């Protein structure tokens, strides 16, 4: 069992009980120090087998530890369970090649997502930021430069990463102020959470991670999404940071199947 699996099994409440300890760190995400967003090229065949989707049961929410009830100030791993609701989050953009394709795919299925944007990418592509906002998607702060481990930064560096990203997103979008923050790699610490709170943002994590940034193959991404999604799930995908053809191909398969199974997409 991976460390992230252990943390999720313990649930949000037990994980976040140590928020007041300045030395506590959490590496709950799929990207850890040393990971690279570019990934290695891998075989990318059309999935030969598409797994079935466990449909949501009306009037029933699975017993997920900490689902939708994170300790005050701590990261959110799940939506509050409302029978059929799940969320899609899209990280590391905007990207001129992949963000427009992601927007077109989401528009086709009338899905609203949350785009966790890197500040310097938002500053470089303000028109894309405006398009994301105009389409009804949320834009979250994902730091300015995407350091691999924010918890190893000084308090001043953490503050600069968050503040600069918010300023860049606000300027690019024409005034949109992020209300959500996602730490790169899910690397949380009390200092990161404190600065997040100072800016009036809620910390957002995830519960379904196909590690699409590493380009593991369309089959792997589709399998992970369709077999692990349950009511309340927050799915992690990417539209920036490298070649995202596999991500888009996988979502083209997975999203309509989730909708056909009865899931509805909400925003955290």
Write out pLDDT tens, residues 224-261: 999 999 999 999 999 999 999 999 999 999 999 999 99
Residues, the chain, total?
A: 268
Catalytic annotation, pick one of 91, 95, 149, 223 = 91
pLDDT of residue 33: 34
Q: Is residue 213 scored above 90 in pLDDT?
A: yes
pLDDT of residue 45: 60
Alpha carbon distance 267, 258 (integer Å): 16
Catalytic annotation, pick one of 37, 137, 220, 238 = 238
Q: Which position has the token pair 């649930």?
A: 11
* Average pLDDT, rounded, for the chain: 84
More confident residue, 212 or 70: 212
Q: Is 238 a catalytic residue?
A: yes
**178: alpha, beta or left, given left = phi > 0 and alpha = psi -120 to 50?**
beta
Q: Is 91 a catalytic residue?
A: yes
The per-residue pLDDT for range 10-42, each reduced to its tens digit, is 444 333 333 333 333 333 444 433 344 444 445
Q: What is the mean pLDDT of residues 72-98?
A: 90
Q: Are strands 25-27 and 187-189 parallel, antiparallel or unpaired?
A: antiparallel
Each domain of the chain, given as residue ranges in start order, spans: 3-11+75-265
More confident residue, 60 or 176: 176
Q: What is the mean pLDDT of residues 51-73?
A: 66
Q: Domain 3-11+75-265 is of which CATH architecture?
A: Alpha-Beta Barrel (3.20)
């Amino acid at each position: 069992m991976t460390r992230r699996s252990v943390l999720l099994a313990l649930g949000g409440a037990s994980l976040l009980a140590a928020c007041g300890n300045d030395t506590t760190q959490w590496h709950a995400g799929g990207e850890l120090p040393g990971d690279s967003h570019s990934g290695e090229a891998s075989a990318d065949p059309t999935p030969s087998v598409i797994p079935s989707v466990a449909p949501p049961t009306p009037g029933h929410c699975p017993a997920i530890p900490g689902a939708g009830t994170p300790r005050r100030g701590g990261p959110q791993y799940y939506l509050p369970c409302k029978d059929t609701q799940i969320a899609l989050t899209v990280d590391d953009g905007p990207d001129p090649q992949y963000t427009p394709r992601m927007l077109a795919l989401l528009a086709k299925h009338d899905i609203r997502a949350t785009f966790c944007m890197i500040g310097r990418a938002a500053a470089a592509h303000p028109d894309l930021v405006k398009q994301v906002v105009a389409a009804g998607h949320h834009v979250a702060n994902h730091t300015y430069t995407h350091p691999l481990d924010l918890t190893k930064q000084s308090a001043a560096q953490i503050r600069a990463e968050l503040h600069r990203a918010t300023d860049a997103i606000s300027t690019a979008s024409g005034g949109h102020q992020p209300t959500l923050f996602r730490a790169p790699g899910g690397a949380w610490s009390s200092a990161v959470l404190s600065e997040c709170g100072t800016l009036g943002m809620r910390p957002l994590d995830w519960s379904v991670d196909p590690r699409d940034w590493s380009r593991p193959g369309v089959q792997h991404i589709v399998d992970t999404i369709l077999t692990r999604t349950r009511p309340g799930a927050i799915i992690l995908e990417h539209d920036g940071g490298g070649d995202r053809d596999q991500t888009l191909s996988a979502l083209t398969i997975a999203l309509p199947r989730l909708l056909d199974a009865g899931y509805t997409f909400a925003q955290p």
